[in-house]
């Protein structure tokens, strides 16, 4: 486990505003990532994760856009964002403090199988973005604190028991384990463009070429792409580059090489995009 000191997490002006972050991993649970943060100014750009994002606010209020609506998470609630879903996040009012888990889809599916006692062929689906469950929110905070303390008094078995119990209750109370994944990227032209961008992350693309690929005019293409993906073509490309960079950094590759591989202008560009979506620098993420 690695805890990242807050002085390496955000820009100096953000630290001066009172924004601090701590980030670490628990590798034995399929690379489970954990974030504890106080945000008074920092706002996330719209993005997606390959993992779930499950958060409990301990003070203040966070607001985030998700599934076409603005949501508000306050103490006593648990916020859940499913994999591949577009969202953002920002302080509402004076700021907020929260603790977040990023469990993989595989881990959540495994827990769902434990809960149901039968095979589950897709990760559990959560219809609600903000879950009003004070008991669960308290268990979330206690588990998060348990996992972040590299303390011999807290054994790995105790951590594991608490994690499985918490995720089991979350899934049993609030998840639909048999819901089909929502249909995405319906029009074939938009799917073609998405597949092309996914396969050519390190290359620049011309808007006019993408519109031709989709069989649409440029203005119609931008509107159609945003309707289907939740992002403009440029924002989608940045999101996919961010996700690819996250995977490479997790393997230990240095940020400068990651920036070149993933199509960023330079390391500074990678830093800005990554921090806007993860809340920490690529170097801090890699160090964990």
Model confidence pLDDT, tens digit, residues 230-274: 999 999 999 999 999 999 999 999 999 999 999 999 999 999 999
Residues in the chain: 288
Distance separating alpha carbons of residues 153 and 158, to the nearest angstrom: 10
Spacing of C-alpha 253 from chain mean position: 20
Mean pLDDT of 86-101: 97
| Tens digit of each residue's pLDDT (9 = 90 or more) over 7-40 | 344 455 556 668 999 999 999 999 999 999 999 9
Q: Which CATH architecture has domain 6-174?
A: Sandwich (2.60)
Domain ranges of the chain: 6-174, 188-287
Instruction: Report the distance separating Cα 287 and Cα 108, nearest Å.
Output: 25
Query: What is the model's pLDDT at position 5?
Result: 41
How far, in Å, CA of 60 to CA of 95, rounded? 6
The CB-side HSE value for 119 (13 A sphere, CA atoms) comes to 1
pLDDT of the residue at 155 = 85
- The helix/strand/coil state of 71 is strand
pTM of the model: 0.90
Cβ-contact 223, 217 below 8 angstroms: no
Domains 6-174 and 188-287 share a fold: no
DSSP 125: B
Q: What separation in angstroms does the CA of 3 have from each of 102, 151, 160?
A: 15, 13, 19
For 188-287, the fitting CATH number among 3.30.70.980, 3.40.50.720, 3.50.50.60, 1.10.10.60 is 1.10.10.60
């Amino acid at each position: 486990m690695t805890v990242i000191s807050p002085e390496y997490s955000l820009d100096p002006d953000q630290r001066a505003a009172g924004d601090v972050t701590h980030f670490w991993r628990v590798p034995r649970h399929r690379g489970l990532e954990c974030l504890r943060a106080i945000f008074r100014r920092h706002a996330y750009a719209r993005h997606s994760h390959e993992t779930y994002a499950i958060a409990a606010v301990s003070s203040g209020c966070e607001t985030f856009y998700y599934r076409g609506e603005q949501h508000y998470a306050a103490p006593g609630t648990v916020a859940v964002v499913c994999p591949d879903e577009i969202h953002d996040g920002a302080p509402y009012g004076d700021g907020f403090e929260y603790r977040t888990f990023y469990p993989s889809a595989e881990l959540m599916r495994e827990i769902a199988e434990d809960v149901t006692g039968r095979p589950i062929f897709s990760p559990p689906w959560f219809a609600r973005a903000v879950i009003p469950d004070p008991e669960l929110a308290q268990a979330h905070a206690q588990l998060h604190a348990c996992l972040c303390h590299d303390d011999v008094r807290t054994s790995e078995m105790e951590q594991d028991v608490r994690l499985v119990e918490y995720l089991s209750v979350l899934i049993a109370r609030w998840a639909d384990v048999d819901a089909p994944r929502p249909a995405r990227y319906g029009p074939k032209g938009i799917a073609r463009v998405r597949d092309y961008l996914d396969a050519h992350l390190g290359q620049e693309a011309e808007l006019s070429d993408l519109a031709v690929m989709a069989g649409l005019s440029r203005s119609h293409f931008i509107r159609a792409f945003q309707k289907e993906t939740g992002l403009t073509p440029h924002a989608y490309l940045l999101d996919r580059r961010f996700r690819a960079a996250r995977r490479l950094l997790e393997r230990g590759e240095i940020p400068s090489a990651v920036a070149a591989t993933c199509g960023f202008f330079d390391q500074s560009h990678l830093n800005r995009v990554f921090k806007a979506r993860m809340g920490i620098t690529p170097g801090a993420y890699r160090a964990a």
